[in-house]
A = this chain, B = another copy of it.
Amino acid sequence: MNDQPELRRDPVTGSWVAVAPERAKRPIALSGHQPRQRANGERHPCPFCPGQEHATPHEVFAFRDPSSPTDGPGWQLRVVPNMYPAVRPESLTTIAIRDSELLESVPAYGTAEVLIECPEHIHDPKELTDSQFTNVFVAYRERLRMFAGDTRLAHVAVFKNVGAEAGASLGHTHSQIIALPVVPDLLRAELDGAKEHFSRTGRCIYCDLVSEELKDGSRVIATSANFVVIAAFAPRFAYEVWILPRQHQPRYEALSDANANELARLMKRLLFTLDAVLGEPAYNWHLHTTPLHAGEPEHYHWHLELLPRTARPAGIEWGFGCHITTAMPEVAARELRAALPM
């Protein structure tokens, strides 16, 4: 059946996608696979390099030598406000700008931050040391905990863009943290799907998914003591990968340092195999966790999703939300497993 196109339903959101291996054969004169572009003519040192701290807004968080001055060198990881924010902390009210029956808008209250992952001017997160990579996952947690007290905020979007095709505008490896006064769409869709599953079964849908995927095995790429890496059953991009905690954990804020280290080492192995199999694609990863003031739900479970830019979305994706991919997730998982470093 593996050469027949299939329509698959995302187990959580219910979105339909088409998996059509035959389309991989179509002419690629104008379309196709997007390799990770290197920065051309990028200045070095860049604004994210040590010694250039004056080129960014004042830092709001850092791992740095105790003796080093704020906004000076001597840091291992640094979080600064985005120079070009989509949302702004000085928008102190959320009083509607427009509020007709149909058209509603509010000032973009929130915070947009850049998390500079290491002092070295490297583009590729798989070149981070294990300790640096662990710092990234610990810093995600610390920023989430910091925002937990702001009742004007609803959700914190943590994500990373690697390569120009994935939306990165600077090469020096960094993540982004955007705190918003609303719960964004895709998270809301997951929460709705998870709630529906819980009301039907009394169980967390992600716990059920982990259990079913481990039993089936065909989409499992890697495992560690506390995490599972699977090829998404209904991917939006070929080779889409999900990383989930094995145990129920609604909030990323609860991640222990030891588990951050385990997650970092697993993620690095995943990046090595993705780059080997796909030839260094551009990609995004993003963290989905329970919204800030939503307690500790029994039905929702944090996870990371990694989307390699393996195709250029077209009218069917943008116009209808129906993604068409060319690699069966079971085939993708087999290839990634085979190339996985020890």
Contact = CB atoms under 8 A, between A and B. Distances in A.
Interface of A: 1, 4-9, 11, 15-16, 18-20, 22-23, 25-32, 37, 39-42, 83-88, 91, 97, 100-108, 157, 159-161, 163-171, 176, 178, 180-182, 184-187, 189, 201, 205, 208-209, 212, 233-234, 236, 284-286, 288, 305, 307, 311-322, 324
A178 B100 CA distance: 36
B181 A22 contact: no
Contacts of A176: 315-316
A320 B40 CA distance: 29
A101 B212 CA distance: 10
Given A161-B315, A318-B284, A319-B284, A170 B30 contact: yes
A169 B316 contact: no
Nearest to A165: B312
Contacts of A186: 319-321
Number of copies: 2
B86 A170 contact: no
A315 to B, nearest CB: 3
B314 A159 contact: yes
Contacts of A1: 97
10 contacts: A5-B91, A7-B180, A7-B182, A9-B103, A20-B86, A31-B164, A31-B167, A164-B312, A284-B315, A307-B319
A209 B16 CA distance: 29
Contacts of A9: 103-105
A170 B27 contact: yes
A71 to B, nearest CB: 21
Contact of A184 (B16, B189, B305): B16
Contact of A29 (B32, B39, B163, B165): B39
A23 B176 CA distance: 15
A106 B201 CA distance: 23
A108 B212 contact: no
Given A5-B85, A185-B322, A212-B102, A286 B305 contact: no
A312 to B, nearest CB: 5
